[in-house]
Structure formats: C-alpha cells, structure tokens
C-alpha cells in the first residue's frame, strides 16, 4: 500500500504531517490524521507537538513528545514569558520510530 511505502521512505530526521500524508497518498486529511495517531499508539511513529505562546514580540515554542504531555499542559502558560500558550494553533508532526 502507498501509505506503507510513504512511511517507510521517511528518514529518522523527517517529520511528516497529516496534511503531507493526505496529499502524498491522496486520502482524506482526517483519515491521514487517524492513521498517524494509530501508528503512534502502536509505537511505530512518535509524535512532536509544537505550541507557540501569544507573546507579540516573540512567540516561544514549546515542544511536547507525547499526546499525554500535550493534554496535561493544556491551559499552562509559557515558561519563558508567562503568556498563554496558543493551543488552538498547535502543529503536530510525526516521526518514524526505529523500524
Ligand atoms: Zn513566551
């Protein structure tokens, strides 16, 4: 299947997003997202979630490496400047595991 090929072609440093997977293998965005989340739950992919703060001058990025960490941080303030984190604009990327 193309999805398998697409994921196996990832290098360890590559980050794939639901948008990119959906486009590259011509599936619905929501299906791509579900698939990637399933693969994280199975330990095949790992997740990187980047959330910026709402600081006007410089938005600090906070990185989360699991969905649990990400959900646990909801409502938290930026560690650098104490501004709220903009959870509505989280960017979710997926990386390959060791397969
Ligand atoms: Zn900040």
Q: In the sheet that 45-52 helps form, which strands lie side by side, from edge to edge?
A: 61-64, 45-52, 91-96
For the chain, which residues make up each domain, given as ranges? 2-96
Closest to 69 in 3D by CA, of 42, 97, 44, 40: 40
Q: Give whole-number Cα distances, 96 to 64, 75, 76, 85, in Å.
A: 16, 29, 28, 27
Using the mean position of ligand 1's atoms as its centre, give its distance from the Cα of residue 20 in Å: 28
Q: Which residue has the higher pLDDT, 18 or 2?
A: 18
pLDDT in tens, 41-82: 998 899 999 999 999 999 999 999 999 999 999 889 999 999
Using the mean position of ligand 1's atoms as its centre, give its distance from the Cα of residue 43 in Å: 31
Distance between CA atoms of residues 80 and 82, nearest Å: 6
Which protein residues have a CB closer than 5 Å to ligand 1 (ion)? 53, 55, 60, 78, 80-81, 83
pLDDT of residue 37: 94
pLDDT of residue 98: 59
Q: For 36-61, give one letter per residue: b (16+ CB within 10 A) or e.
A: bbebbeeeebebebebbbeeeeebee
pLDDT of residue 44: 87
């Amino acid at each position: 299947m193309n999805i398998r090929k697409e994921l196996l072609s990832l290098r360890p440093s590559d980050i794939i997003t639901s948008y990119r997977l959906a486009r590259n293998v011509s599936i619905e965005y929501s299906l791509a997202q579900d698939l990637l989340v399933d693969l994280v739950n199975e330990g095949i992919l790992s997740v990187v979630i980047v959330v910026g703060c709402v600081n006007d001058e410089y938005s600090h990025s906070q990185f989360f490496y699991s969905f649990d960490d990400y959900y646990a941080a909801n409502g938290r303030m930026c560690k650098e400047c104490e501004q709220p984190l903009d959870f509505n604009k989280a960017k979710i990327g997926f990386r390959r595991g060791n397969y």
